[in-house]
Chain A
Amino acid sequence: MASRRTDQHLAFALSIFGHAAIVAALTFSIPLGRTRPSAGEIVVPIETVMINEAAIEAEIARMEAAEEAERIRQAEEAERVRQQQEAEQRELERIRLEREAAEQAAELERQRVEVEAAAERERLLILEREREEAQRLAEQERLERERLQAERIAAEQAAEEARLRREAEERARREAVEAEIARAIAAEQEARAARDAGLRDQWARAISDRVALYWIRPPNVSSELECVLIVTQLPNGDVVNVTVDQCNTNDGNIIRSIENAVLNASPLPQPPRGVAFERVVRITFRPDD
C-alpha cells in the first residue's frame, strides 16, 4: 500500500517535471532560432550601397577633368566603367534580386517565424492546455487520491470502528461467556458444596449406622443419656483412640459400652469420594427414645 502510494507520488512528480521540461525547452529555443543566420547568406545594408554610388560618380568626374590622355584610358576606362557599370547594373540587379530574394526570404522567414510563433503559440497553448489538463488531471488525481485517501481513511475508520465494534462485541460476548462460566462454576461450586455437605452427612450417617450396630445398649441406659466421644481414626478407618468429651452419666458400664461400640465398629466407614478424610470425629450417643 505504502509503496504504491510512493510510486504514485513519484509518477506524478515525474509527469510534472516532464511537462515543465517540455515547456521550458520550447520557450528558450525560440530566441535561439531567431538570431541564428542562415547558412551562406550575405547581408548588405541598402544605405551602405547608396553611399558607394555617389563616391564612384565623383571619382569619374575628377578623372575626365584632369587628363585627356586619359581619355582613351578614359574611353577604356569608360568602357570599363560601362562594363563595370553594367557589371554594377547586373550587380545591382543581382543585389536587387538578392534583396528581393532576401526580402522574400525575410518575408518567408517572417512568415515562417510567424507560423512558427503561431505554431509555438499553438504549442504553448496546447502545452498550457496540456499543463492545465495535467494540472487538472493532477488535481483530479489528487482529488481522486484524496477521495481514495478519504475513502481509505473512511474505510479504515469504518474498519477500525468495525474492528472496535467487533472487539467490543467479542469482549461483550467473551464477558458474557465468562460470566456464564463464572455463574456455572459458582453454581457448580455451590452444588458441589451442597453435595459435599450431603456427602459429609452421608459419611456421618454411615459411621452412625455402623457404630449403632455395635452398640449393645445396656438396660440401664436412660433416654436422657448424652455422651460425646472424641474418636481418632487412621485414614483406613482404624480407630486408634476414643476419649469421653462429656457425658451425663457416671455409669461405667454405659461409658464402656459406647466406647466399645466405637472400638468394635473399627474400621469406621471411609468417607465418600470427594469428602476429605477427617482424623477426629465427634460421636454423640443420644438415644432417641
Chain B
Amino acid sequence: MQSTWLRLRALIVVFALTPAAPALAQLEVTVSRGVERPVPTAIVPFGWQGNADDAPFDVAALVEQDLGNSGYFDPMARRDMVSRPTRASDLNFQDWRIVDVDIVLIGQMTQDAADRYTISFQLFDVTRAEQLLGFRVSTTSAEMRSTSHQIADMIYEEMTGIPGIFSTRIAYITEERFSPDERVFRLIVADADGFNARTVAESSQPLMSPAFSPDGRQIAYVSFEEQQSAIYVQTLRTGSRQRVSARVGINGAPVFSPDGRRLALTLSLNDGNLDVYTLDLSNQVLRRITQNSAIDTEASWSADGEFIYFTSDRAGSPQIYRVEAEPGNRAQRVTFEGTYNTRVRVSPDGGTLALVHRNQSRDRIALLNPENGFLNILSQGQLDESPSFAPNGAMIIYATRDQGQGVLAAVSTDGRVHQRIASVAGDVREPVWSPYARP
C-alpha cells in the first residue's frame, strides 16, 4: 500500500517535472535592442482663464523647450497639431495616434488673484490612453519659469526614470574687458538654461574655479581680489562669504567633498610645488594628499569620497591620477590614452570620468570609463574646457570658444545631444553644474 503510494507520488513528480512538449512551446521572441530616438511628444498650449486676454507666460513653450533640449523628447510643432485640447475631456487619443505622438501634455492656467495663478497639467500616454501625471501647482508671474522647469522635470523623470535637471543651476565665470587694464570678472549663477543669471561675486581681478557645495547652498571659488589667490566659500542665499584659504603661494582649484565637510584644493605653500590637499571646513585642518615634485592639481572627489582624482605631470605630460583621500598614499595613474588629459570630474554615479583630452592639438571633452580605459570623445570644439556633470549624469556642461569668446555648451553623456546655453555678455569660462538641491 505504502509502496504503491510512493510509486504514485514518484509518478506525479515525474509528470510535474516533464517539460511541455516542444510543439506546444510558445513562440519566443527576444528583443535585444531598441531605438535611441526622442519620444514623440505633443506639448499642447495651455488654456488660460484670467483677467487679461493672454496668459502672462507660455508655460507649455518653456516645458517644450526644456524637453526638446534634453534630447530625449521630440516635441511636435504647434502648427502641426490637429487639435489643441486643454482638458482631458477634450482629448481624443486617436488624433495623436495617427500622427505617431506617444505622449501628450495638456493644461490650463487660471488666475486666482492679481499675481496668483494655478497651473494644472496632465500628461497622457497616447498608446495606452492613460494618464501618467496630473498635478495642480500654484505660482506667481515671477515663478513661471521655475514652475515650468519643475513641470518639465516631472515629465522627464516620468519618462526616463532619471530626475530632470531643468530646475538646476549653473555657475560660471565671465570676464568683461573694457580696456587692457580695465576688466571685470564675475561669478554668475543662472538657471540651467542660462536664464535668471545673477552675479554672485564681482572683481576687477580674476575669479576662478567655482564649485557648488553638495547641498547647492554654497559656492567655493578662487579670487585674486587681494592681488594673490585666495579661496572663498560663499552662501548663495545670503551672499555672506568666508575666506577659507589664503596661504602663501597658490590657493586654487577647490572642490567640496561629497559630504560637504571638506574641500580638496591645490596649494603651493612655501616651496612653490603644487600639491593636492584637503581642508576640513569645520576645524581648518589641512592635510597633504599628494607629495610629488611635479605639479599635482585639479582635484575631484570620487562619488564615495574615498578617493581623489587629480591632474599631474609627474610622468612628463599631464595625466589623471587617483589617490586615496588620506595622506601618505601612493597615486595610481588613470589615463593612458593621449599625451594630455586634465581637469577630471567624476560622474554622480562614480562610474565615469569627464576630462579634457588633447588630441591633434584640439582640447575636447571626453568620457573615460576607468574600468576598461575606454575613452569617448564627446565635444567637437578646439579649446573645450572645464567639463561638469549635471546632477543626473545625463549631461555635461563645458566651455568652448566661439569667435574668440568663451561660450557655454552642453553635451549629453551619450553624445547624442549638443546644445549651446544662452550666454550672457563677455567671455565665459569654467561652468559648473549645481546639484539638485536648491538654495
Chain A interfacial positions (CB closer than 8 Å to B): 200, 203-204, 207-208, 211-221, 251-254, 256-261, 263-264, 278, 280-289
Contacts and interface: CB of A to CB of B under 8 A. Distances in A.
Given A208-B30, A260-B127, A216 B414 contact: no
Given A219-B160, A260-B128, A282 B35 contact: no
Given A216-B39, A260-B102, A260-B128, A286 B27 contact: no
6 contacts: A207-B29, A220-B160, A259-B128, A263-B128, A281-B26, A284-B28
A200 B34 contact: no
B437 interface: no
Secondary structure type dominating chain B contacts: loop
7 tightest A-B CB contacts, nearest first? A217-B34, A215-B34, A220-B161, A288-B32, A260-B127, A283-B29, A253-B161
Contacts of A264: 102, 127
Interface of B: 26-39, 72, 102, 125, 127-128, 158-162, 394, 414
A218 B160 CA distance: 5
A116 to B, nearest CB: 109
Contact of B27 (A203, A219, A289): A203
Contacts of A219: 72, 160-162, 394, 414
Contacts of A221: 34
Contact of A260 (B28, B125, B161): B125
B31 A278 contact: no
Given A254-B161, A256-B125, A288 B35 contact: no
A65 to B, nearest CB: 159
Nearest to A251: B161
Given A278-B26, A281-B26, A282-B26, A220 B162 contact: yes
Given A219-B160, A254-B161, A288 B33 contact: yes
Contacts of A257: 34
A213 B31 CA distance: 10
A203 B37 CA distance: 25
A169 to B, nearest CB: 41
A284 B29 CA distance: 6
Given A253-B159, A260-B128, A281 B27 contact: yes
Given A219-B414, A260-B127, A284 B30 contact: yes
Nearest to A249: B161
Given A216-B37, A260-B125, A263-B128, A280 B26 contact: yes
Contacts of B160: 218-220, 253
Contacts of A284: 28-31
A207 to B, nearest CB: 5
A256 B159 CA distance: 9
A66 B32 CA distance: 186
A278 B27 contact: yes
A261 B161 contact: no
Count chain B CB atoms within 10 A of each CB in A204, A215, A219 and give the residue with the most: A219
Count chain B CB atoms within 10 A of each CB in A220, A221, A252 and give the residue with the most: A220
B31 A215 contact: yes
A217 B31 CA distance: 11
B39 A212 contact: no
Given A216-B39, A216-B102, A208 B29 contact: yes
B101 to A, nearest CB: 11
A286 B127 contact: no
B358 to A, nearest CB: 29
B85 to A, nearest CB: 21
Contacts of A217: 33-36
B157 to A, nearest CB: 8
Contacts of B28: 204, 281-282, 284
Given A256-B125, A260-B125, A263-B127, A216 B27 contact: no
Nearest to A200: B27
Contacts of A289: 33
Count chain A CB atoms within 10 A of each CB in B29, B35, B37, B162 and give the residue with the most: B29
A101 to B, nearest CB: 129
A245 B39 CA distance: 25
A204 B159 contact: no
Given A216-B37, A220-B161, A282 B29 contact: yes
Contacts of A261: 31, 34
Nearest to B72: A219
A216 B34 contact: yes
Contacts of B414: 219
Nearest to A254: B161
B161 A213 contact: no
Contact of B31 (A200, A208, A218): A208
B31 A286 contact: yes
A212 B31 CA distance: 6
A238 B31 CA distance: 18
B374 to A, nearest CB: 13
Contacts of A212: 31-35
A17 to B, nearest CB: 85
Contacts of B158: 253
A215 B36 CA distance: 8
A256 B34 CA distance: 14
Contacts of A252: 161
A261 to B, nearest CB: 7
Contacts of A207: 27, 29
Contacts of A258: 31
